[in-house]
Amino acid sequence: MRIVIPARYASLRLPGKPLADIAGKPMIVRVVEAVQSCRHAGIWIATDHEDIRAAVAGHGHAVVMTRADHPSGTDRIAEVAEQLGWQDDEIVVNVQGDEPLIDPQLVDAVAAALREDEGAAIATAAHAIHEAADFFNPNVVKVVCDAAGRALYFSRAPIPWARDAFANGQDRTRLPAGFAAQRHIGLYAYRVGFLRRYGRLAPAPLEQHEALEQLRALWHGHAIRVVSCSEAPPAGVDTPEDLARVRAVFDRGAI
């Protein structure tokens, strides 16, 4: 398994996010440190910004400079695989550059699931939804799977739908007992061969309506294996408030 961490400087809510200081080190460096205990064959940061390259290299980590026009992190990782000449059957994990609290065991589990499911092109993760507010929140991406643990569909809509429990405007402040809804976790493992094909796949109508990139793979018939977790992983950093929360964790010495 190889790990690639895409890092873009631009961020609408938190400009320069990868370089934000967390206990004396840039956030992107903290992400690298979080996954160093994984069973990996190397960790690379993929960026198009010189300041990020310099900060990462200054801490002794590998950096690959990529084009600035990539529409997604998946495309950026595909360029890294091409630059470094990785073989089609190798597995690459995309770790988001704004998750310094990521669990390395989850990274290993997603990579292992893809390795074991030879018919899948991608693996990702999900956890059970327990709160109705999360289930009905369009910012919470849901996933439903088949009996083999492969994704059937991802949506911002509340899926699956408990017809009888939610019928006729009944109480939607709590979920029915035994209701198996899952929240998608944005961690991905890919086979390099799929990454090479991905850039040639036409965007899917469902992807454009839902604003969910992973629907492109399903639309074109590529299987996605889903690892189910017992609980939600720590949230990443999207806002100044998120950054303050993560800094407090490091300040308490909880890492």
pTM for the model stands at 0.92
**Residue 212 within a domain:** yes
**Residue 167 within a domain:** no
pLDDT at 231: 85
Task: State mean pLDDT over 194-212.
Answer: 92
What is the domain count for the chain?
Answer: 1
**Residue 175 within a domain:** no
For residues 130 and 171, give the distance between their C-alpha atoms in angstroms, rounded to a whole number.
Answer: 15
The predicted-structure confidence for 172-200, as pLDDT tens digits, reads as follows 788 988 899 999 999 999 999 999 998 88
The predicted-structure confidence for 132-164, as pLDDT tens digits, reads as follows 999 999 999 999 999 999 999 999 999 999 988
pLDDT at 125 over 90: yes
**Residue 67 within a domain:** yes
pLDDT at 165: 84
**Residue 79 within a domain:** yes
For residues 127 and 182, give the distance between their C-alpha atoms in angstroms, rounded to a whole number.
Answer: 5
What is the domain-level CATH number for residue 234?
A: 3.90.550.10
**Residue 159 within a domain:** no
Q: Are 206 and 85 in contact (CB under 8 A)?
A: no
242 CA to centre of own chain: 17
- Domain of residue 218 covers 2-127+183-252
**Residue 158 within a domain:** no
The predicted-structure confidence for 41-96, as pLDDT tens digits, reads as follows 899 999 999 999 999 999 999 999 999 888 788 888 999 999 999 999 999 999 99
**Residue 89 within a domain:** yes
pLDDT at 170: 63
pLDDT at 255: 67
